Amino acid sequence: MWFMRQAGRYQPTYRALRQQYNFMDLATDPSLCVDVTCRPVEDLGVDAAILFSDIMVPLAPMGVNFTIQESIGPVIANPIRSMRDVLALGSVTPERDLPYVLDAVHGIVERLGPIPLIGFAGGPFTLASYMIEGGPSKNYLYTKRMMWTAPDVWAALMTALVDVVSTHLTAQVKAGAGAVQIFDSWIGSLAPEDYEQWVLPYMAEIFRRLAPLAVPRIYFGVGTGSLLELMVSAGPDVLGIDWRVPLIDARRRIGPHIALQGNLDPARVTAGYDAVVGPTQALLGSMRGDPSYIFNLGHGVLPMTDALVLKQLVDLVHREGKRGDAL
Ligand code: 1CP
Protein backbone atom coordinates (compact mmCIF):
# COMPACT_ATOMS: atom_id res chain seq x y z
CA MET A 1 0.00 0.00 0.00
CA TRP A 2 0.96 3.61 -0.58
CA PHE A 3 -0.86 6.91 -1.15
CA MET A 4 -0.86 9.23 -4.11
CA ARG A 5 0.19 12.67 -2.78
CA GLN A 6 1.51 11.12 0.42
CA ALA A 7 3.91 14.08 0.57
CA GLY A 8 1.96 17.32 0.68
CA ARG A 9 -0.02 19.93 2.47
CA TYR A 10 -1.80 17.66 4.96
CA GLN A 11 1.62 17.27 6.70
CA PRO A 12 2.51 20.00 9.20
CA THR A 13 6.20 19.44 8.33
CA TYR A 14 5.49 20.01 4.60
CA ARG A 15 3.49 23.17 5.32
CA ALA A 16 6.36 24.47 7.44
CA LEU A 17 8.90 23.81 4.67
CA ARG A 18 6.65 25.60 2.17
CA GLN A 19 6.85 28.74 4.35
CA GLN A 20 10.52 28.85 3.39
CA TYR A 21 10.63 27.35 -0.08
CA ASN A 22 8.33 27.36 -3.08
CA PHE A 23 7.26 24.14 -4.73
CA MET A 24 9.94 24.15 -7.43
CA ASP A 25 12.66 24.86 -4.83
CA LEU A 26 11.66 21.63 -3.08
CA ALA A 27 11.45 19.64 -6.32
CA THR A 28 14.78 20.84 -7.71
CA ASP A 29 16.94 20.62 -4.56
CA PRO A 30 17.96 16.98 -4.21
CA SER A 31 18.47 17.02 -0.44
CA LEU A 32 15.12 18.72 0.23
CA CYS A 33 13.46 16.41 -2.30
CA VAL A 34 14.91 13.31 -0.60
CA ASP A 35 13.62 14.53 2.72
CA VAL A 36 10.11 15.41 1.52
CA THR A 37 9.84 12.06 -0.32
CA CYS A 38 11.01 9.93 2.62
CA ARG A 39 9.13 11.73 5.39
CA PRO A 40 5.70 10.13 4.74
CA VAL A 41 7.27 6.68 4.45
CA GLU A 42 8.97 7.11 7.81
CA ASP A 43 5.96 8.78 9.51
CA LEU A 44 3.14 6.64 8.09
CA GLY A 45 4.79 3.28 7.50
CA VAL A 46 3.53 2.90 3.91
CA ASP A 47 5.17 0.21 1.77
CA ALA A 48 6.52 2.46 -0.99
CA ALA A 49 7.71 5.99 -1.58
CA ILE A 50 6.68 8.14 -4.53
CA LEU A 51 9.17 10.65 -5.83
CA PHE A 52 8.33 14.19 -4.73
CA SER A 53 8.07 16.12 -7.98
CA ASP A 54 5.34 17.21 -10.35
CA ILE A 55 4.19 16.07 -13.76
CA MET A 56 5.24 19.50 -15.10
CA VAL A 57 8.90 19.26 -14.00
CA PRO A 58 10.27 17.49 -17.14
CA LEU A 59 8.54 20.07 -19.35
CA ALA A 60 10.72 22.94 -18.08
CA PRO A 61 13.76 21.95 -20.16
CA MET A 62 11.50 21.74 -23.25
CA GLY A 63 10.95 25.48 -22.85
CA VAL A 64 7.52 25.28 -21.21
CA ASN A 65 7.43 28.26 -18.94
CA PHE A 66 5.27 27.39 -15.92
CA THR A 67 4.81 28.23 -12.28
CA ILE A 68 3.06 26.12 -9.63
CA GLN A 69 0.58 28.49 -8.02
CA GLU A 70 -0.85 28.07 -4.56
CA SER A 71 -4.27 26.34 -4.56
CA ILE A 72 -4.41 26.46 -8.39
CA GLY A 73 -1.63 24.21 -9.69
CA PRO A 74 0.51 24.64 -12.79
CA VAL A 75 0.02 27.86 -14.78
CA ILE A 76 1.76 28.21 -18.15
CA ALA A 77 2.85 31.55 -19.55
CA ASN A 78 3.09 30.42 -23.18
CA PRO A 79 0.32 27.90 -24.00
CA ILE A 80 0.88 25.63 -27.01
CA ARG A 81 -1.71 26.36 -29.69
CA SER A 82 -0.03 25.97 -33.10
CA MET A 83 2.48 23.85 -35.03
CA ARG A 84 4.97 26.67 -34.60
CA ASP A 85 4.59 26.36 -30.80
CA VAL A 86 5.12 22.59 -30.94
CA LEU A 87 8.17 22.88 -33.20
CA ALA A 88 9.71 25.38 -30.79
CA LEU A 89 9.70 22.78 -27.97
CA GLY A 90 13.13 21.36 -27.13
CA SER A 91 13.89 17.72 -26.48
CA VAL A 92 14.85 16.50 -23.02
CA THR A 93 17.88 14.48 -21.98
CA PRO A 94 17.20 13.70 -18.31
CA GLU A 95 20.86 13.17 -17.34
CA ARG A 96 21.71 16.63 -18.73
CA ASP A 97 18.49 18.57 -18.13
CA LEU A 98 17.04 17.04 -14.97
CA PRO A 99 20.10 15.99 -12.92
CA TYR A 100 18.43 17.12 -9.68
CA VAL A 101 15.66 14.53 -10.18
CA LEU A 102 18.13 11.71 -10.70
CA ASP A 103 20.30 12.88 -7.77
CA ALA A 104 17.18 12.82 -5.60
CA VAL A 105 16.29 9.30 -6.80
CA HIS A 106 19.78 8.08 -5.82
CA GLY A 107 19.49 9.72 -2.40
CA ILE A 108 16.00 8.34 -1.76
CA VAL A 109 16.93 4.80 -2.72
CA GLU A 110 19.95 4.97 -0.44
CA ARG A 111 17.94 6.31 2.50
CA LEU A 112 15.01 3.90 2.12
CA GLY A 113 16.98 0.70 1.66
CA PRO A 114 14.56 -2.13 0.85
CA ILE A 115 11.46 0.10 0.55
CA PRO A 116 10.80 0.69 -3.14
CA LEU A 117 10.60 4.10 -4.78
CA ILE A 118 7.90 4.70 -7.39
CA GLY A 119 9.02 7.05 -10.15
CA PHE A 120 6.35 8.86 -12.14
CA ALA A 121 5.43 11.02 -15.08
CA GLY A 122 2.24 12.55 -16.40
CA GLY A 123 0.44 10.88 -19.27
CA PRO A 124 0.76 12.68 -22.60
CA PHE A 125 -2.92 13.67 -22.71
CA THR A 126 -2.81 15.13 -19.21
CA LEU A 127 0.45 16.97 -19.93
CA ALA A 128 -0.88 18.22 -23.26
CA SER A 129 -4.01 19.51 -21.51
CA TYR A 130 -1.94 21.76 -19.21
CA MET A 131 0.30 22.88 -22.08
CA ILE A 132 -2.60 23.73 -24.37
CA GLU A 133 -5.07 25.17 -21.84
CA GLY A 134 -2.37 27.08 -19.95
CA GLY A 135 -3.42 25.62 -16.58
CA PRO A 136 -6.08 23.47 -14.90
CA SER A 137 -9.25 23.18 -16.94
CA LYS A 138 -12.86 22.09 -16.60
CA ASN A 139 -13.86 21.34 -20.18
CA TYR A 140 -10.53 20.98 -22.03
CA LEU A 141 -11.92 22.95 -24.94
CA TYR A 142 -8.67 24.06 -26.54
CA THR A 143 -7.25 20.57 -26.07
CA LYS A 144 -10.20 18.78 -27.68
CA ARG A 145 -10.44 21.35 -30.44
CA MET A 146 -6.77 20.80 -31.32
CA MET A 147 -7.34 17.03 -31.33
CA TRP A 148 -10.31 17.29 -33.69
CA THR A 149 -9.41 20.25 -35.89
CA ALA A 150 -5.58 20.19 -36.04
CA PRO A 151 -4.68 16.49 -35.91
CA ASP A 152 -1.19 17.14 -37.31
CA VAL A 153 -0.40 19.57 -34.47
CA TRP A 154 -1.88 17.11 -31.95
CA ALA A 155 0.19 14.23 -33.34
CA ALA A 156 3.39 16.30 -33.24
CA LEU A 157 2.76 17.36 -29.63
CA MET A 158 1.80 13.85 -28.44
CA THR A 159 4.84 12.36 -30.21
CA ALA A 160 7.14 14.84 -28.46
CA LEU A 161 5.50 14.00 -25.12
CA VAL A 162 5.92 10.24 -25.68
CA ASP A 163 9.67 10.89 -25.93
CA VAL A 164 9.83 13.03 -22.79
CA VAL A 165 7.71 10.66 -20.70
CA SER A 166 9.59 7.55 -21.82
CA THR A 167 13.08 8.97 -21.36
CA HIS A 168 12.20 10.59 -18.03
CA LEU A 169 10.79 7.33 -16.63
CA THR A 170 13.67 5.27 -18.04
CA ALA A 171 16.18 7.59 -16.36
CA GLN A 172 14.34 7.33 -13.02
CA VAL A 173 14.42 3.52 -13.19
CA LYS A 174 18.09 3.49 -14.15
CA ALA A 175 18.76 5.73 -11.13
CA GLY A 176 17.03 3.22 -8.84
CA ALA A 177 13.23 3.59 -8.99
CA GLY A 178 11.63 0.16 -8.57
CA ALA A 179 8.30 0.90 -10.29
CA VAL A 180 6.74 3.70 -12.33
CA GLN A 181 3.30 5.26 -12.39
CA ILE A 182 1.87 7.28 -15.23
CA PHE A 183 -0.62 9.83 -13.95
CA ASP A 184 -3.04 10.38 -16.81
CA SER A 185 -5.35 12.10 -14.39
CA TRP A 186 -7.67 13.84 -16.83
CA ILE A 187 -8.36 11.19 -19.51
CA GLY A 188 -11.76 10.64 -17.90
CA SER A 189 -12.86 13.78 -19.77
CA LEU A 190 -12.70 11.85 -23.06
CA ALA A 191 -15.31 9.70 -24.78
CA PRO A 192 -13.98 6.15 -25.25
CA GLU A 193 -13.71 6.57 -29.02
CA ASP A 194 -11.68 9.76 -28.58
CA TYR A 195 -9.39 8.07 -26.06
CA GLU A 196 -8.93 5.17 -28.45
CA GLN A 197 -8.13 7.33 -31.46
CA TRP A 198 -6.18 10.24 -29.96
CA VAL A 199 -4.48 8.89 -26.83
CA LEU A 200 -4.23 5.09 -26.77
CA PRO A 201 -1.61 4.72 -29.55
CA TYR A 202 0.73 7.09 -27.69
CA MET A 203 0.22 5.36 -24.34
CA ALA A 204 0.82 1.96 -25.93
CA GLU A 205 4.09 3.25 -27.36
CA ILE A 206 5.20 4.48 -23.92
CA PHE A 207 4.46 1.10 -22.31
CA ARG A 208 6.30 -0.64 -25.15
CA ARG A 209 9.37 1.51 -24.57
CA LEU A 210 9.27 0.88 -20.81
CA ALA A 211 8.81 -2.90 -21.05
CA PRO A 212 12.56 -3.75 -21.24
CA LEU A 213 13.10 -2.04 -17.87
CA ALA A 214 11.20 -4.96 -16.27
CA VAL A 215 9.68 -2.88 -13.45
CA PRO A 216 5.93 -2.70 -12.70
CA ARG A 217 4.26 -0.02 -14.83
CA ILE A 218 1.17 1.50 -13.18
CA TYR A 219 -1.41 3.43 -15.23
CA PHE A 220 -3.76 5.74 -13.32
CA GLY A 221 -6.56 8.09 -14.32
CA VAL A 222 -9.59 9.73 -12.68
CA GLY A 223 -13.17 9.12 -13.83
CA THR A 224 -12.11 6.29 -16.12
CA GLY A 225 -15.11 3.97 -15.64
CA SER A 226 -15.79 3.87 -19.36
CA LEU A 227 -12.11 3.48 -20.32
CA LEU A 228 -10.82 0.56 -18.24
CA GLU A 229 -10.60 -1.99 -21.05
CA LEU A 230 -8.93 0.53 -23.37
CA MET A 231 -6.43 1.52 -20.67
CA VAL A 232 -5.55 -2.14 -20.16
CA SER A 233 -5.04 -2.54 -23.90
CA ALA A 234 -2.31 0.15 -23.70
CA GLY A 235 -0.22 -2.48 -21.88
CA PRO A 236 0.38 -1.51 -18.21
CA ASP A 237 1.09 -4.06 -15.46
CA VAL A 238 -1.14 -2.31 -12.91
CA LEU A 239 -4.35 -0.34 -13.41
CA GLY A 240 -5.05 2.43 -10.88
CA ILE A 241 -8.66 3.59 -10.59
CA ASP A 242 -10.70 6.03 -8.54
CA TRP A 243 -13.58 5.27 -6.15
CA ARG A 244 -16.33 5.57 -8.77
CA VAL A 245 -15.83 1.98 -9.94
CA PRO A 246 -15.92 -0.88 -7.37
CA LEU A 247 -12.60 -2.70 -7.69
CA ILE A 248 -14.36 -6.00 -7.83
CA ASP A 249 -16.32 -4.85 -10.90
CA ALA A 250 -13.07 -3.61 -12.45
CA ARG A 251 -11.54 -7.02 -11.79
CA ARG A 252 -14.43 -8.74 -13.55
CA ARG A 253 -14.05 -6.46 -16.55
CA ILE A 254 -10.29 -6.62 -17.01
CA GLY A 255 -9.59 -10.27 -16.13
CA PRO A 256 -6.94 -11.74 -13.79
CA HIS A 257 -3.72 -10.86 -15.62
CA ILE A 258 -3.21 -7.28 -14.49
CA ALA A 259 -2.82 -5.92 -10.96
CA LEU A 260 -5.33 -3.43 -9.55
CA GLN A 261 -4.61 -0.37 -7.43
CA GLY A 262 -7.03 1.77 -5.43
CA ASN A 263 -9.51 3.08 -4.49
CA LEU A 264 -10.87 4.45 -1.21
CA ASP A 265 -12.47 7.86 -1.70
CA PRO A 266 -9.88 10.36 -0.36
CA ALA A 267 -12.74 12.45 1.04
CA ARG A 268 -13.45 9.56 3.46
CA VAL A 269 -10.13 10.12 5.18
CA THR A 270 -11.06 13.76 5.87
CA ALA A 271 -14.23 12.57 7.64
CA GLY A 272 -12.37 10.86 10.50
CA TYR A 273 -11.31 7.32 11.30
CA ASP A 274 -14.85 6.12 12.02
CA ALA A 275 -15.81 6.99 8.45
CA VAL A 276 -12.82 5.01 7.16
CA VAL A 277 -12.90 1.66 8.98
CA GLY A 278 -16.04 0.07 7.49
CA PRO A 279 -15.43 1.00 3.85
CA THR A 280 -11.76 0.00 4.10
CA GLN A 281 -12.66 -3.40 5.54
CA ALA A 282 -15.29 -3.83 2.84
CA LEU A 283 -12.80 -2.89 0.13
CA LEU A 284 -10.14 -5.27 1.46
CA GLY A 285 -12.75 -7.98 1.90
CA SER A 286 -13.86 -7.59 -1.70
CA MET A 287 -10.26 -8.04 -2.87
CA ARG A 288 -9.39 -10.90 -0.50
CA GLY A 289 -7.80 -13.70 -2.51
CA ASP A 290 -7.41 -11.42 -5.53
CA PRO A 291 -4.42 -12.36 -7.69
CA SER A 292 -2.73 -8.98 -7.39
CA TYR A 293 -3.87 -5.91 -5.50
CA ILE A 294 -2.27 -2.69 -4.17
CA PHE A 295 -4.20 -0.61 -1.65
CA ASN A 296 -4.32 3.14 -2.37
CA LEU A 297 -6.81 5.97 -2.32
CA GLY A 298 -8.79 6.63 -5.48
CA HIS A 299 -6.86 9.92 -5.97
CA GLY A 300 -4.37 12.00 -3.99
CA VAL A 301 -4.48 12.64 -0.24
CA LEU A 302 -6.45 15.88 0.26
CA PRO A 303 -4.80 18.83 2.06
CA MET A 304 -7.42 18.87 4.86
CA THR A 305 -6.67 15.24 5.79
CA ASP A 306 -5.63 14.58 9.41
CA ALA A 307 -2.19 12.90 9.34
CA LEU A 308 -3.15 10.78 12.36
CA VAL A 309 -6.19 9.32 10.57
CA LEU A 310 -4.01 8.50 7.58
CA LYS A 311 -1.56 6.69 9.87
CA GLN A 312 -4.46 4.76 11.45
CA LEU A 313 -5.58 3.78 7.94
CA VAL A 314 -2.10 2.41 7.16
CA ASP A 315 -2.15 0.33 10.34
CA LEU A 316 -5.66 -0.93 9.57
CA VAL A 317 -4.73 -2.04 6.06
CA HIS A 318 -1.59 -3.77 7.30
CA ARG A 319 -3.53 -5.52 10.10
CA GLU A 320 -6.34 -6.65 7.81
CA GLY A 321 -3.85 -7.63 5.14
CA LYS A 322 -2.05 -9.93 7.55
CA ARG A 323 -5.35 -11.36 8.75
CA GLY A 324 -6.39 -12.10 5.17
CA ASP A 325 -2.84 -13.10 4.28
CA ALA A 326 -3.88 -13.99 0.73
CA LEU A 327 -4.23 -10.26 0.07
O1 1CP B 1 2.39 24.34 -3.44
C2 1CP B 1 2.19 23.14 -3.29
O3 1CP B 1 2.68 22.52 -2.33
C4 1CP B 1 1.30 22.58 -4.37
C5 1CP B 1 0.67 21.27 -4.22
C6 1CP B 1 1.34 20.24 -5.14
C7 1CP B 1 2.03 19.11 -4.72
C8 1CP B 1 2.27 18.64 -3.30
C9 1CP B 1 1.40 20.29 -6.57
C10 1CP B 1 0.86 21.32 -7.47
N11 1CP B 1 2.10 19.17 -7.00
C12 1CP B 1 2.49 18.43 -5.91
C13 1CP B 1 3.29 17.20 -5.91
C14 1CP B 1 2.93 16.14 -6.85
N15 1CP B 1 2.28 16.29 -8.05
C16 1CP B 1 3.24 14.78 -6.68
C17 1CP B 1 4.10 14.31 -5.52
C18 1CP B 1 4.24 12.97 -5.12
C19 1CP B 1 3.14 12.41 -4.26
O20 1CP B 1 2.16 11.88 -4.81
O21 1CP B 1 3.32 12.42 -3.01
C22 1CP B 1 2.70 14.10 -7.78
C23 1CP B 1 2.71 12.61 -8.05
C24 1CP B 1 2.11 15.07 -8.62
C25 1CP B 1 1.51 14.76 -9.92
C26 1CP B 1 0.54 15.73 -10.48
N27 1CP B 1 0.64 17.08 -10.64
C28 1CP B 1 -0.67 15.34 -11.09
C29 1CP B 1 -1.12 13.92 -11.20
C30 1CP B 1 -1.69 13.47 -9.90
C31 1CP B 1 -3.06 14.01 -9.60
O32 1CP B 1 -3.21 14.61 -8.54
O33 1CP B 1 -3.97 13.76 -10.41
C34 1CP B 1 -1.32 16.47 -11.56
C35 1CP B 1 -2.65 16.55 -12.28
C36 1CP B 1 -0.47 17.56 -11.28
C37 1CP B 1 -0.73 18.98 -11.58
C38 1CP B 1 -0.80 19.75 -10.33
N39 1CP B 1 0.31 20.14 -9.63
C40 1CP B 1 -0.08 20.79 -8.48
C41 1CP B 1 -1.50 20.78 -8.44
C42 1CP B 1 -2.32 21.39 -7.36
C43 1CP B 1 -1.94 20.11 -9.59
C44 1CP B 1 -3.38 19.82 -9.99
C45 1CP B 1 -4.01 21.00 -10.63
C46 1CP B 1 -5.34 20.67 -11.31
O47 1CP B 1 -6.35 20.47 -10.59
O48 1CP B 1 -5.37 20.61 -12.55
- Given this model, what pLDDT does residue 71 score? 87
Residue 241 · residue 262 · CB < 8 Å: yes
Residue of the CA atom closest to atom 14 of ligand 1: 54
Average model confidence (pLDDT) across the chain: 97
- Given this model, what pLDDT does residue 322 score? 79
Atom of ligand 1 nearest to the CA of 300: 32
DSSP assigned state of 76 = E
Residue of the CA atom closest to atom 10 of ligand 1: 73
Residue range 195-215: mean pLDDT, rounded: 98
Residue range 262-286: mean pLDDT, rounded: 98
Tell me: pLDDT of 320 over 70: yes
Q: How far is the CA of 302 from the centre of ligand 1 (A)?
A: 11
- Given this model, what pLDDT does residue 206 score? 99
Residue range 200-225: mean pLDDT, rounded: 98
314 vs 309: CA distance, rounded Å: 9
DSSP assigned state of 4 = T
Residue range 313-319: mean pLDDT, rounded: 98
- Given this model, what pLDDT does residue 324 score? 63
Q: How far is the CA of 256 from the centre of ligand 1 (A)?
A: 31
Residue of the CA atom closest to atom 47 of ligand 1: 136
Tell me: pLDDT of 325 over 80: no
- Given this model, what pLDDT does residue 240 score? 98
Catalytically active residues are: 5, 9, 18, 54, 130
Residue range 236-247: mean pLDDT, rounded: 98
- Given this model, what pLDDT does residue 59 score? 98
Instruction: Indicate the domain borders of the chain.
Output: 12-321
Atom of ligand 1 nearest to the CA of 26: 3
39 vs 210: CA distance, rounded Å: 28
Atom of ligand 1 nearest to the CA of 14: 3
Residue 307: pLDDT band (50, 70, 90) is very high
31 — phi, psi (to 5°)?
Answer: -75, -35
127-155 tens-digit pLDDT? 999 999 999 999 999 999 999 999 999 99
Residue 321: pLDDT band (50, 70, 90) is confident
The full length of the chain comes to 327
Q: How far is the CA of 317 from the centre of ligand 1 (A)?
A: 25
DSSP assigned state of 320 = H
- Given this model, what pLDDT does residue 327 score? 47
- Given this model, what pLDDT does residue 66 score? 97
Q: How far is the CA of 54 from the centre of ligand 1 (A)?
A: 6
Residue 88 · residue 113 · CB < 8 Å: no
Residue of the CA atom closest to atom 44 of ligand 1: 73
Beta-carbon contacts of 214 under 8 Å, excluding residues fewer than 6 positions away, are none
Tell me: pLDDT of 123 over 90: yes
Q: Which residues line ligand 1 (CB under 6 A)?
A: 4-9, 18, 23, 50, 52, 54-55, 68, 70, 73-74, 120, 136, 183, 185, 300
Find out if CATH 3.40.920.10 is the number for domain 12-321: no
212 vs 198: CA distance, rounded Å: 25
Residue 195: pLDDT band (50, 70, 90) is very high
Residue 262: pLDDT band (50, 70, 90) is very high
32 vs 118: CA distance, rounded Å: 18
Atom of ligand 1 nearest to the CA of 135: 48
Q: How far is the CA of 221 from the centre of ligand 1 (A)?
A: 13
Residue 32 · residue 99 · CB < 8 Å: no
Helix and strand numbers, DSSP H then E, in the chain: 16, 9
pTM summary value: 0.96
Query: Rounded to whole angstroms, what are the CA distances from 121 to 125, 127, 184?
Result: 12, 9, 9
Tell me: pLDDT of 326 over 60: no
- Given this model, what pLDDT does residue 323 score? 74
- Given this model, what pLDDT does residue 295 score? 98
Q: How many CB atoms lie within 10 A of CB 229?
A: 13
